[in-house]
Amino acid sequence: MAETKKKTTTKKPAAKKSTAKKPRTAAQLRAEAEKKAVHAAKLDAENAKSRLEEVQEAAVEYAKKGVDVPVGAALNLADRVSEAIEDWTDQASAEKKVKGYRADLTKTVKRAERRGVTTRRKATTQARKQRRSLEKTVRQQRKSFEKTVKTTNKDVNKQIEARVNEVTKRAQQAQADVSKVADEQGKKAQELVNKVTEQLSALV
């Protein structure tokens, strides 16, 4: 029986694709840098706005609590006065008690007013400080953005200038090489003409 020989097939290695990236142009670098800077500035502005809204809401709630609590206490005291008067039969005792409750109520109201003013001042001061801080942050981010764009433009201009200088230098060198070769060829041609002239003169 004839033996069947197995054919061995060698696979050719797959050609590697070139992974070299094309160098980006100056315009692409500038556009990319400006886009990143604008995006960062927008995010900072949105965060600053959100923080300012949170501070304002917290300040309002703080002020409300500072005023509502004492006022509520004063109203409760007034209710107690109304309920107590209904049970009194002695006019003198009732007037005395009413004066005492009135004095307590006046103190509570004044205390509430003082607390309300103090709380309002604190809330206003805190909101003002936070607003100034956020405005300062936004100004710093704007300056940083402008500085980034200027720095990017300077770097791009330097790269462009360096490339132009390099190309100019190469062109000048090429021109010098061509002039040198032309001079050498001209000298050789002149020497050949002189030799031919001498030979012709010798024949005559």
Model-level pTM greater than 0.85? no
Sign of CA pseudo-dihedral 110, 112, 118, 123: negative
Q: What is the pLDDT of residues 145-175, one digit of tens each?
A: 777 777 776 776 777 777 777 777 777 787 7
Q: What is the pLDDT of residues 56-74, one digit of tens each?
A: 565 555 555 555 555 555 5
Q: How many CB atoms lie within 10 A of CB 151?
A: 12
Tokens representing 148? Answer: 């980034």
Banded pLDDT at 113 (limits 50, 70, 90): low
How far from 131 is each of 47, 51, 58, 125, CA to CA, in Å? Answer: 13, 9, 13, 10
How far from 182 is each of 171, 178, 185, 192, 194, CA to CA, in Å? Answer: 16, 6, 5, 15, 18
